[in-house]
Amino acid sequence: MSQPELLKRVIGKLESIGMEYMVTGAIASSVQGEPRSTHDIDLVIAIKEDAITRLVEAFPPPDYYLNASSVREAVAEEGMFTLFDKREAAKVDFWVLTNSPFDQSRFARRCIQKAAKIRMTVSSPEDTILMKLWWAKQCGRSEKQFMDALRVYEVQHGKLDMRYLEEWAKRLRIRGPLNRLKDKAKGL
């Protein structure tokens, strides 16, 4: 099974149990910018403790491995947990939606996009850029994260809410990386 097929199956299962989600990471930046390969799927999910059992039951063994204790811990700590597709040796990283103002803002701004014949809820281009720049800063100026952000900026230029980008770059303390990105994209 290909990664798009796994993504489609995971999204279908989340939608069938009524769990809100948002595709992020390299898949979001590939849909909104320049496609690139990635080894995993990143999703933010709005999950509360009372939905843990439904989620775990949606991905049963032997096809999947999803540790209920890890899910409970991630929900309690607003962290992340991983689903393994054992047949394909593929993984999906689930990030629990936090109560942080930025997480709440980007989840509220998610949008529907279609790629590889999959209809999915994806982070907005602005939020994809901001998260990629934030991760680049956290990882010690990761060029892969920065280039993902730059490609989304270039492809989406003219449609971006620049006020939103500037405001959150200031609040997230990534104005320097955003300015570097805009300098690299000069001529647009």
pLDDT tens digits, residue range 119-165? 999 999 999 999 999 998 887 767 889 999 999 999 999 999 999 99
pLDDT for residue 172 is more than 70: yes
Q: How far is CA 135 from the centre of its chain?
A: 12
Q: What is the pLDDT of residues 51-92, one digit of tens each?
A: 999 999 999 999 999 999 999 999 999 999 999 998 888 899
CA–CA dist 155, 120 (Å, integer) = 19
* Cβ-proximal residues to 168 (8 Å cutoff; 6+ apart), any chain: 102, 105, 126, 130
Across the range 89-112, mean pLDDT stands at 96
Residue-wise pLDDT for 19-50, tens only, equals: 999 999 999 999 999 888 777 899 999 999 99
pLDDT computed for residue 160 by the predictor: 97
Query: What is the reported pLDDT for 147?
Result: 93
Q: How far is CA 9 from CA 34, 62, 135, in A?
A: 24, 16, 27
Q: Share the mean pLDDT of the chain.
A: 93
- For residue 141, the model assigns a pLDDT of 63
Q: What is the pLDDT of residue 139?
A: 78
| Spatial distance between the Cα atoms of 44 and 25, rounded to a whole number of angstroms | 10
pLDDT at 55: 97
Where is 105: in which H helix or E strand? helix 101-108
How high is the pLDDT of residue 158? 93
Q: Using N-to-C axis directions, what is the helix angle for 125-138 and 101-108, rounded to 10°?
A: 150
pLDDT band at residue 188 under the 50/70/90 scheme: low
Domains detected in the chain: 3-122 (3.30.460.40), 125-184 (no CATH)
Roughly how many angstroms between the first and final C-alpha of the chain, as a whole number? 39
**The pLDDT of residue 177:** 94
> Which pLDDT belongs to residue 1?
52
Query: What's the confidence (pLDDT) of residue 187?
Result: 67
Element (H, E) at 96: strand 90-96
